[in-house]
Structure 1
Amino acid sequence: MNTKKYIRVLAIFLLVTTSCRSKQMEDKTGIGSPQTADVIVYGGTSAAITTAVQVKKMGKSVIVISPDKHLGGLSSSGLGYTDTGNKEVIGGLSREFYQRIYNYYAKDSAWKWQTRKDYGNVGQGTPAIDGANRTMWIFEPHVAEQVFEDFVSEYNIPVVRDAYLNRESGIVIKDGNIQSITTTDGQRYSGTVFIDATYEGDLMALAGIPYTVGRESNTTYGERWNGVQTNVFQHPHNFGDLHVSPYKVPGDPNSGLVMGVSKEGPGNYGEADDKVQAYNFRMCLTQLDENKVPFKKPANYNPERYELLARVYAKGWDQTFQKFDPIPNLKTDTNNHGPFNTDYIGMSYDYPEAGYKRRKEIVKEHREYQQGLMYFIATDPRIPGKVREEFKKWGYAKDEFQDNGNWPYQIYVREARRMLGQFVMTENEILGKKKVEKSIGMGSYTMDSHNVQRYITKDGFVQNEGDIGVHPHEPYKIDLGTILPKKGACTNLIVPVAVSSSHIAFGSIRMEPVFMILGQSAATLAVMAIETSKAVQDIAYADLKAQLLKDGQRLELEKH
């Protein structure tokens, strides 16, 4: 870890540790009689729900405290074209989620806007519908949300929605154990084990667990694909040799920079930084007039934001519809594509550690940027006429996200804080160069980082940096230590989303099926710790493995 990050982590740890006494005194006031359960889950993500389901299946009580009104995170907020890799390593409750999706679409009534036959069966490297295994990997957002709600209903899981952790003083810790947490409305929740299932790792940070933000240098863990990756282009999300000028008057540095280009240099290849990859929203679009909401000019629309896109088209580029991936009922999961796209590069740097107010501002900025981009492509005369006319045929799906202006609920937090836990997963484990001995689940997707920054090259052109895609040779194991703080930090907290991994390793781990897998494993560990009155770090792996296998988790690749 570089010096800057080390100082920040140490300062946070000392701040939380030294403030524990005062927090315990505040707890004695009795403000907000505590709600109590065996396991307290903070988060509304897909991992939060599989965590809670597993706790209930093992006979313990649980409360889910969700900052979100709508459950499921990205899985129910537009990411319906699932990033999966090898489906054979997806087991347990994660696989059950996709089996429930299959069961839903097996009904004729599920096909409102098209027939099942007309939909086809195209998925990401595999058929969307796997009849042999009764799983379906591609789905509409509202269907995924309903599956999570069904889980909650069937297992009678208490969920407190729109509940935000008090990140200033909302925790009581005694002898390395979290006693209770408090939300911003003053309500307290006490439990035996706590699980942070947020994308941001907010509870982990409040508990004083060391973590990192940004990219490690390649030398930190002996990696190749971490750190600054200048002149590495593995996806078509770069300016290549288009020679696009970053200046308001092309070729004139004195005219100032167009919007979206940093005046700072990118740093040296392989160096660490504290920047995070770009966020965006996974939009659900349609061409069907009966179910379409046309693109409209958003608040604070500024066409100057999209000057680079106009210049890209002027150079002859046109891959506009490359990532309009089809999902059922004539809809899409539309993601980023090309050198200038829905990824709002450089605008998410402060999100991981920002307060709630600033995070909402960042989300609003991303929404306005992305909605403005849709409007720009559909209406601006600098966009080729053929592209504009085709783009106007598209709009937001009217029957999705109906209480949010047909816009996804969850911004795609591709990476925020990452815990520094008992075991740090790196590209070496992902690529099979180092072994993992204590598997709690598997991953197989590409180590995928989106662009981190947009800068000016030494030749005076604009370029993107940070977009990486490296395929594992085969599915890999994820170590138990990735979800566990070091024992000296906390003995009753588990972190299945903001896991202990390097930036580039997290690029593969951060897939929704994997988060659900890790949520189930975290819950299993939590219940075993409760039943044995042990620290979560002290559960024998052999015992944990036996229970995980019993419950359908897939811990290693079966050799056929």
Structure 2
Amino acid sequence: MANRQGDIIIYGGTSAGIMAAVQAVRMGRKAIVIEPTNRIGGLSTGGLGDTDSGEKSVIGGLSREFYERLGRKYGQSEAVWLFEPKMALEVFHDYVREYAIEVVNGERLDRGSGKGVVKEGDRITSIRMESGLTFEGRMFIDASYEGDLMAGAGIRYTTGREPNSLYGERLNGIQTEQATKNQLPTGIDPYWTPGDPASGLLPHVNANAGGSDGDGDSKIQAYCYRMCLTDRPDNRVAVEKPEGYDEKEYELLFRSIEAGQTRFFKLAMLPNRKTDSNNDFGFSTDYIGRNYGYPEGDYAARERIGKEHEIYQKGLVWTIQNHPRVPEEIREYYRPWGLPRDEFLENGHWSPQLYIRESRRMLGVSVMTEKHVRHEEKVEAPIGMGSYAMDSHNVQRHLDANGYVTNEGDVQMLSVKPYSISYHTIVPKAEECANLLVPVCLSASHIAYGSIRMEPVFMVLGQSAATAAVQAIEAECSVQRVDLAKLTEQLLKDRQVLTQ
């Protein structure tokens, strides 16, 4: 197939990817966005309408502009932080149209042949899709949630949780004592036949935590879909029992109810009687322990994992609305809610975007850690700020010291002051690649990434990555040798907030 050429090739039409493209065009360069699906905007258009904003004053540049544009969609003069998925999609399509951005949908990087990323020395020259379509560019940005371009380029990365000892952290690794939020009721028997270990453990319950608190492991914090629901009868589509429903997946739910749990996901309200229903409580929408194979999985494995999460969550909604083991007062509370008829029309009104809270994380020029988030170490060369809690969702279920089922891994360190994010965390080591930037799967420890991994921050970093890419083209230098003073000057000119 014919090659396509641009100054900057952006893999991933996430919020970060679209903002990177807008910035490149504003600076006079041609950007091409490659989106493996048929929907741009990532989680921002995929149901995450209750923005994890943290301190809003440090959200600047195009990220702030995005929320201001949403405000205008709703007839308001200021930024809006609660919004419907379809409205966010409108804003991103407005950007694409206004800046004549070339977006190529439905093209996935060729990960299987070994020919997906072509390099000459330390520079990527082209990337090849499964279809054979090839994109040539001077600079490349991996704005995907998975980091496939980064991995294909031979950049070192990590997954899972580092031990606390690696970076001198406190909240990384296994966390049993910290896991007090979104916890199951106490005293839940873990065996199919209560009291009988020979009957086997309930689904996805481990015999132990796999180590001591602070020990590292390869496990991944839980994923889910951010469910957009509505209770408006004229716009509601009932959630039916999904094909593939397995009642055994909900035995722990029934026992949680028997132990006192009465709520199972949030009904955080968005405009027009819609919700962003995220994980909340001990048994909820997170499919804990069922995503470990996602970061390194091939496309078929990832699709299977995504479908399993969809079946689980639709099954959860159907169960708490209909199952006779669920008390009538709980069924009555959740029964009015269904899928909005006017959202996700191309996917049966269900979000196509799995909430990939964490996948690969680059090992770049420097690594953001808990110490940087806590202001215990200085951040060099800031390109934006974060401020959200250091937030890890639960990672696994296991037996506690008393032999009952417990959740492990939930950390919510809420007292986070705004902190700067270093340019050195979005660039790989010089010997690995000279013309790639990674604003989403950036270089951060698991627990620091838990604060950084928010959509407003990804948009900030996408814009900053594109700014650096354009300046590297103009200076004919590597991304590692960009003039940081000049970069700072441009970012401030473009309303980025770098320090506080």
Cα shift readout 1:399-446 (whole Å, capped 9, x = no counterpart): 111110110110000000000000100000001111112100000000
Normalising by structure 1, we get a TM-score of 0.88
Residue 252 of structure 1 and its aligned partner are, at CA, apart by 1.3
Change (3 A) 1:472 1:178: farther
Cα shift readout 1:139-178 (whole Å, capped 9, x = no counterpart): 0000001111110010000010010000132111011000
Match status 1:214 vs 2:157: no
Residue of structure 1 equivalent to 2:317: 374
Select the residue among 224, 233, 257 that pairs with 1:289.
233
Asked if structure 2 preserves the Cα contact closer than 8 Å seen for 1:246 and 1:261, the reply is: yes
Q: State how far apart, in whole Å, the 1-side matches of 2:464 and 2:372 are.
A: 19
Alignment of 1:73-222 (within 5 A): 73-106=42-75, 134-168=78-112, 169-222=115-168
Figure out how many residues of one structure are paired with residues of the other and give that number: 498
Cα shift readout 1:227-267 (whole Å, capped 9, x = no counterpart): 000122342x1125x20011111121111112231245432
Q: Unpaired runs of 5+ in structure 2?
A: none
Q: State how far apart, in whole Å, the 1-side matches of 2:267 and 2:336 are.
A: 13
Q: State how far apart, in whole Å, the 2-side matches of 1:186 and 1:335 are.
A: 38
Select the residue among 205, 220, 238 that pairs with 2:183.
238
Q: State how far apart, in whole Å, the 1-side matches of 2:486 and 2:35 are.
A: 30
Quick one: which amino acid aligns to residue 300 of structure 2?
A: K
Give aligned-pair identity as a percent.
51
Residue of structure 1 equivalent to 2:335: 392
Secondary structure of the residue aligned to 2:345 is coil
Q: State how far apart, in whole Å, the 2-side matches of 1:337 and 1:407 are.
A: 19
Match status 1:45 vs 2:14: yes
Alignment of 1:316-335 (within 5 A): 316-320=260-264, 323-335=266-278
Match status 1:312 vs 2:256: yes
Match status 1:249 vs 2:186: no
Q: State how far apart, in whole Å, the 1-side matches of 2:336 and 2:2 are.
A: 54
Residue 540 of structure 1 and its aligned partner are, at CA, apart by 1.4
Select the residue among 54, 57, 62 that pairs with 2:31.
62
Q: State how far apart, in whole Å, the 2-side matches of 1:68 and 1:391 are.
A: 31
Residue 180 of structure 1 and its aligned partner are, at CA, apart by 0.3
Residue of structure 2 equivalent to 1:556: 499
Runs of 4+ in 1 over 4 A off after TM superposition: none
Q: State how far apart, in whole Å, the 1-side matches of 2:180 and 2:433 are.
A: 40
Asked if structure 1 preserves the Cα contact closer than 8 Å seen for 2:264 and 2:284, the reply is: no
Secondary structure of the residue aligned to 2:166 is coil
Quick one: which amino acid aligns to residue 289 of structure 1?
A: P
Asked if structure 1 preserves the Cα contact closer than 8 Å seen for 2:174 and 2:209, the reply is: no
Secondary structure of the residue aligned to 2:167 is coil
Residue of structure 1 equivalent to 2:291: 348
Asked if structure 2 preserves the Cα contact closer than 8 Å seen for 1:78 and 1:141, the reply is: yes
Secondary structure of the residue aligned to 2:164 is coil
Residue of structure 1 equivalent to 2:453: 510
Q: State how far apart, in whole Å, the 2-side matches of 1:372 and 1:471 are.
A: 32
- What value does the CA root-mean-square deviation take over the aligned residues? 1.1
Cα shift readout 1:292-317 (whole Å, capped 9, x = no counterpart): 01120101111111111111111122
Asked if structure 2 preserves the Cα contact closer than 8 Å seen for 1:431 and 1:472, the reply is: no
Select the residue among 404, 411, 425 that pairs with 1:468.
411
Q: State how far apart, in whole Å, the 1-side matches of 2:425 and 2:170 are.
A: 21
Q: State how far apart, in whole Å, the 2-side matches of 1:53 and 1:375 are.
A: 41
Asked if structure 2 preserves the Cα contact closer than 8 Å seen for 1:444 and 1:472, the reply is: no
Residue of structure 2 equivalent to 1:300: 244
Residue 472 of structure 1 and its aligned partner are, at CA, apart by 4.2
Q: State how far apart, in whole Å, the 2-side matches of 1:316 and 1:181 are.
A: 53
Asked if structure 2 preserves the Cα contact closer than 8 Å seen for 1:139 and 1:328, the reply is: yes
Q: State how far apart, in whole Å, the 1-side matches of 2:415 and 2:433 are.
A: 33
Q: State how far apart, in whole Å, the 1-side matches of 2:388 and 2:400 are.
A: 31
